[in-house]
Amino acid sequence: MRGGFENAYQLLTSYFAEVRLVDLDFAFDIQTTSCKDKRFTKCFWCFSPPKKTYKLLRPVVVIDGTFLKGDIVELY
């Protein structure tokens, strides 16, 4: 994008609206500091294929041994 940061952040909403025309299940959220300032803080977006796949995933527990102490450390 050309121009300054302020102009680029203002274009985010219109860009995401254009993407939603192609991908109807597209999700996005733009967060700002307050209604008065409207300073950009963070942004989230997700296209429909990962969104549909996420529902099919199962919970997984991973133990890597980084913070294990005592007799359990000898197993790793």
Q: What is the 3-state secondary structure (H, E, C) of the chain?
A: CCCCHHHHHHHHHHHHHHHHHHCCCCEEEEEECCCCCCCEEEEEEECHHHHHHHCCCCCCCCCCCCCCCHHHHHHC
The pLDDT tens digits of the residues spanning 61-73 come to 877 766 666 665 5
Q: How confident is the model at residue 13 (pLDDT cuts 50, 70, 90)?
A: confident
Which structural domain range is residue 57 located in?
A: 5-75
Tokens of 24: 């109807």
Backbone angles phi, psi at 57, to 5 degrees: -75, 150
Considering its fold, how many domains does the chain have in total? 1
Q: What's residue 10's pLDDT?
A: 79
Please enumerate in sequence order all residues whose Cβ is within 8 A of that of 7, keeping only pairs 6 or more positions apart, or say none: 1
pTM to 2 decimal places: 0.56
